[in-house]
Amino acid sequence: MKHSKDFNVQNERNLTMLVDFYELTMGNGYLHNNVQDKIAYFDMFFRRVPDGGGYCIMAGVQQLIEYLSNLKFSDDDISYLKSKNIFSDDFMDYLKDFKFSCDVWAVPEGYPVFPGEPLVIVKGPVMQAQFVETMILLTINHQTLIATKASRICRAAKGRPVMEFGSRRAQGYDGAIYGARAAVIGGCVGTACTIAEEMFGIPALGTMAHSWVQLFDNEYDSFKAWSETYPDNCVLLIDTYNVLLSGVPNAIKVFNEVLKPMGKRPKAVRIDSGDITYLTKKVRIMLDEAGYEDVKITISNSLDEYIIRGVLESGAQIDSFGVGERLITARSEPVFGGVYKLVAVENDGEIIPKIKISENEEKITNPAFKKLYRIFDKTSHKAIADLITLHNEEIDETKPLEIFNSIYTWKKKKIKNFYIKDLMVKIFENGQPIYESPSVMDIKAFSAKEVSKLWSEVLRFENPHAYYVDLSSDLWNLKQGLLNYYSETFEQ
C-alpha cells in the first residue's frame, strides 16, 4: 500500500510554474547560446544540521518524484510567459514541448544524512537539470527540516508517543500536510491533520477543544455529553476553567457516573496550559486515588525537545505529548539550507568537474559526479563514517580502508572489519520514474532502524560528535587541484 487511497493533492495541481524566475531567464539564455543540451550534473546538499544537532533525516523524495513526473507547461503558462516580453519564440516552443529526460539519484527517505553529502544528484541537459532546482530544494528542504525536528522531539519524549498537532500554525497548507508526513517519518505516531491520513495513511486523531467545554452550561455537562458520545474512547480536556479545582473533579465524576455504569474505562485527560510538571503530578495522584490508575495524561502546550526533556526530568507525570507550532515550523531553526550546485558538465562525453569558489569557505562545493557510501562496522553494525567518492570509484571491502579529514588531513582513521552501503538510489532514468516509494509508515520504521545505527555520541542534543563525512583521496585531490588553479589565476 503506497497511500491509504488513490488520492494525491499535489497531482491535482500543476506546480511546474513554481520556479524561481531566474531558472527561466537562464533557460532562455541556454537556448540563445545553443548550450541547452549540454549535459550537466547538479548536487543537492546542505551545509549544517539545524539546532546544532548531529544528523538530519532525509525526507520528501516521494513528492519530488511526483513533481518530476508531472512537469508540463499549460497554454496559460506559455501565454503568461510571452507577456513578459523577454523570452524568444524558440524558448516558448521548447517549453510547450518540455519533456523531462534527466537521470536522478536520491538518498531514500528516512536515512540519517550529514552536511556536505549529495542528497539528490541530477544529470541531464542543463536546461532541464537547472529548471528543477527550485522544486528540488523546496521539497527536500521542507520535509527534511521537519523530519529532523520531529526526530529530536521524539527522542526527548523517551518512548512516549508524540502526536503532530501543528496544522493551525503551519506556514501554508502544504506546510501542514507535508509537515505532518515528515513529522511521522521523523518519529511521530500520528497527526491531528485529517487530510494527511487520507493522503498518506498516517493515523489522525483528536478529541475536543475548549470551545466544546464552553458551549455547555458548565464543565460537568460538557464532559457528560462527551463521554456519552465516545464511551469507548473518552479523552477529556480538563483545563478550560481550573485543572485541579474543576477539571479533574468533574472528569472523575463523569467517569464514575457515566462510564462506570456502562462498564467502560476512560482513556485519558489532556492539559493544554499551566505549569505542566506541577499539574500532572497532582492530576496523577487525584486520578490514582479515584481508581483511575490506567487513565493516561496527555500534554500539549508549546512543546519542543527542550521543554519535554525539562518536564520529564522534573518528574512530570506524562504519558503522551501533542506537539504543535514548534514542530510544524521547526521554530528554533526554521530553515533547512539545502543548496543545488553545478558540479560537472560533459564535453564530448568527457565529464569535466566544476567548482564554486567562495570567500565564505563553507560555501565552496565538492566538484564532480560522485557517489555516497556509508561504512558500517561488521560486528556492531554501527555507522562509522560516510565516504564521498568519484562516481566510478569502487571500495574493496576485503581490505582496510583509510579515511581522512578533508581539512585536517593528518586526522586519519584506518577501518577494518567493515561493510559499505551505496546510499543513493536511482529514481529517474531518462526522465522516467523507476523507484517505488515505500509507505510513510514503512519509511518511519526504516528511519528508526537507521538512526539506531548511529553512535549515541552523534545523537546528543548538545555538542554531538561530528559524524565523519570524508572525501576519497581521488576526490580530495581533484578538489585541491581546482582550488589551486583558481587561486593561482587570481594571483596573476
Q: Which of residues 348-367 bind a copy of itself (CB under 8 A)?
A: 354-360, 363
What one-letter code names the amino acid at 129? A
> How far apart (Å, rounded) are the C-alpha atoms in residues 274 and 33?
65
CA distance 98 to 90: 12
The one among 121, 176, 188, 375 contacting a copy of itself by CB under 8 A: 176
Question: What part of residues 96-135 is at the interface with a copy of itself (CB under 8 A)?
Answer: 126, 130, 133-134
By beta-carbon proximity to a copy of itself, the closer residue of 22 and 419 is 22
- Distance between CA 128 and CA 176 in Å, rounded? 29
Question: What is the C-alpha to C-alpha distance for residues 171 and 325, in angstroms, rounded to an integer?
Answer: 10
Q: What letter would DSSP give residue 255? A: I
* Among 101, 246, 277, 320, interactor with a copy of itself by CB under 8 A: 246
Candidates 169-177, 304-312, 391-399, 416-424; binding stretch for a copy of itself (CB under 8 A): 169-177
Given candidates 52, 76, 421, 426, which one binds a copy of itself under the rule CB under 8 A? Answer: 76
For the bound state, the minimum distance from the C-beta of residue 422 to a copy of itself, rounded and expressed in Å, comes to 26
CB of 365 vs a copy of itself, minimal distance in Å: 9
The window from 21-29, 51-59, 254-262, 407-415 that contacts a copy of itself (CB under 8 A) reads 21-29
- Show the beta-strand stretches assigned E in 216-337: 235-237, 268-271, 296-299, 320-323
- Does residue 335 interact with a copy of itself by CB under 8 A? yes
Three cell numbers written together for 459:
545523537
CA angle at 149 for the pair 148 and 151, rounded to the nearest 5°: 65
Residues 249-278 that bind a copy of itself (CB under 8 A): 273-275
Contact 389, 475 (CB under 8 A): yes
The stretch near a copy of itself (CB under 8 A) out of 10-18, 256-264, 423-431, 450-458 is: 10-18
Binding letters toward a copy of itself, positions 81-100, x by CB under 8 A = -----x--------------
Beta carbon nearer to a copy of itself, 208 or 443: 208
Q: Should residue 483 be labelled a site residue for a copy of itself when binding is judged by CB under 8 A?
A: no
C-alpha cell at 159: 518512548
**For residues 255 and 373, which CB has a smaller minimum distance to a copy of itself in the complex?**
255
Residue 9 or 290: which CB sits closer to a copy of itself? 9
Q: Where are the alpha helices (DSSP H) in 264-333?
A: 276-289, 305-313, 325-328
Judged by CB under 8 A, the chain residues 30 through 49 that form the site for a copy of itself are 32-33, 35, 38, 40, 42
- Residue 26 or residue 395: which is nearer to a copy of itself going by CB? 26
Among 64, 138, 184, 308, binds a copy of itself (CB under 8 A): 138
The count of residues interacting with a copy of itself (CB under 8 A) is 113
CB of 230 to a copy of itself, least distance (A): 7
Which residues inside 457-476 make contact with a copy of itself, applying CB under 8 A? Answer: none
CA-to-CA dists, residue 289 to 252, 283, 292, angstroms: 10, 10, 7
Cβ proximity of 200 and 230 under 8 Å: no
**Phi-psi bin for 52: left (phi > 0), alpha (psi -120 to 50), beta?**
left
Binding to a copy of itself (CB under 8 A): which residues in 288-327? 325-326
Give residues 189-218 in contact with a copy of itself (rule: CB under 8 A): 192-195, 197-198, 204-212, 214-215
C-alpha distances (whole Å) from 53 to each of 114, 181, 333 are: 10, 21, 11
Told to check if 423 binds a copy of itself by CB under 8 A, we report: no
| Segment near a copy of itself (CB under 8 A); pick from 285-293, 418-426, 454-462, 482-490 | 482-490
Q: At which residue does the C-alpha cell 587561486 appear?
A: 487
Please, which residue, 419 or 486, has the CB nearer to a copy of itself? 486
Residue choice 154, 299, 316, 330 for contact with a copy of itself (CB under 8 A): 330
Give dist(CA 29, CA 1) in Å, integer.
44
In the bound state with a copy of itself, the residue whose beta carbon lies nearer, of 328 and 388, is: 328
**Half-sphere exposure of residue 61: CA atoms within 13 angstroms, side-chain side:** 29
CA atoms of 174 and 138, how far apart (whole Å):
11
Q: Which residues contact 326 (CB under 8 A, 6 or more apart)?
A: 149, 153, 166, 302, 303, 304, 332
Phi, psi at 450, each rounded to 5°: -70, -35
